[in-house]
Amino acid sequence: MPRFTPGPTFYPSPRDAAAAPAEKLAYVAAFARPADRPDALAVLDVDETSATYGEVVGWTELPNVGDELHHFGWNACSTALCPTAAHPHVERRYLVVPGIRSSRIYVIDTRDDPASPRIVKVLEADELGKRAGYSRPHTVHCGPEGIYVSALGGHGEEGPGGVAILDHTTFEVRGAWEADRGDQYLAYDLWWHIGHDVAVTSEWGTPSMLENGVVPELLLANKYGHRLHFWDLRKRRNIQTVDLGAQHQMVLELRPAHDPRKQYGFVGVVVSTEDLSASVWLWTREGSEFAARKVIQIPAEPADAADLPPALQPFGAVPPLVTDIDLSVDDRFLYVSAWGTGELLQFDVTDPEHPRQTGSVRLGGIVRRTPHPAAPDVALSGGPQMVEVSRDGARVYVSNSLYGAWDDQFYPDGVGAWVAKLDVDPQAGGLTPDERFFPHDADFRGRRVHQIRLQGGDASSDSYCFP
> What is the per-residue pLDDT for 152?
98
Taking the C-alpha atoms of residue 230 and residue 289, their distance in angstroms, rounded to an integer, is: 9
Percent of the chain with pLDDT over 90: 94
Mean pLDDT of 6-10: 88
Which amino acid is located at 426 in the chain? P
> What is the per-residue pLDDT for 242?
98
pTM score: 0.98
Taking the C-alpha atoms of residue 458 and residue 323, their distance in angstroms, rounded to an integer, is: 19
Q: What is the mean pLDDT of the chain?
A: 96
Mean pLDDT of 352-360: 98
Mapping DSSP onto H, E and C, the string for the chain reads CCCCCCCCCCCCCHHHHHCCCCCCEEEEEEECCCCCCCCEEEEEECCCCCCCCCCEEEEEECCCCCCCECCCEECCCHHHHCCCCCCCCCCCCEEEEEECCCCCEEEEECCCCCCCCEEEEEECHHHHHHHHCEEEEEEEEECCCCEEEEEEEECCCCCCCEEEEECCCCCCEEEECCCECCCCCCCCCEEEEHHHCEEEECECCCHHHHCCCCCHHHHHCCCCCCEEEEEECCCCEEEEEEECCCCEEEEEEEEECCCCCCCEEEEEEEEECCCCCEEEEEEEEECCEEEEEEEEEECCEECCHHHCCCCCHHHCEECCCEEEEEECCCCCEEEEEECCCCEEEEEECCCCCCCEEEEEEECECCCCCECCCCCCCCCCCCCCCCEEECCCCCEEEEECCCCHHHHHHHCCCCCCCEEEEEEECCCCCCEEECCCCCCEHHHHCCCEEEEEEECCCCCCCCCCCCC
> What is the per-residue pLDDT for 83?
87
**Better-predicted residue by pLDDT, 187 or 3:** 187
pLDDT in tens, 75-124: 999 999 998 766 667 899 999 999 999 999 999 999 999 999 999 999 99
> What is the per-residue pLDDT for 86?
62
Residue 29 has pLDDT above 70, yes or no: yes
Residue 1 has pLDDT above 60, yes or no: no
Residue 250 has pLDDT above 70, yes or no: yes
Where does residue 140 rank: exposed (0-12), middle (13-18), buried (19+ CB within 10 A)?
buried
Mean pLDDT of 226-248: 98
> What is the per-residue pLDDT for 467?
95
Residue 424 has pLDDT above 80, yes or no: yes
Mean pLDDT of 398-415: 97
Residue 2 has pLDDT above 60, yes or no: no
Instruction: Indicate the domain borders of the chain.
Output: 14-454
pLDDT in tens, 304-345: 999 999 999 999 999 999 999 999 999 999 999 999 999 999
> What is the per-residue pLDDT for 3?
58
- For domain 14-454, give the CATH number: 2.130.10.10
pLDDT in tens, 149-197: 999 999 998 999 999 999 988 999 999 999 999 999 999 999 999 999 9
Percent of the chain with pLDDT over 70: 98
Mean pLDDT of 12-27: 97
Mean pLDDT of 288-309: 97
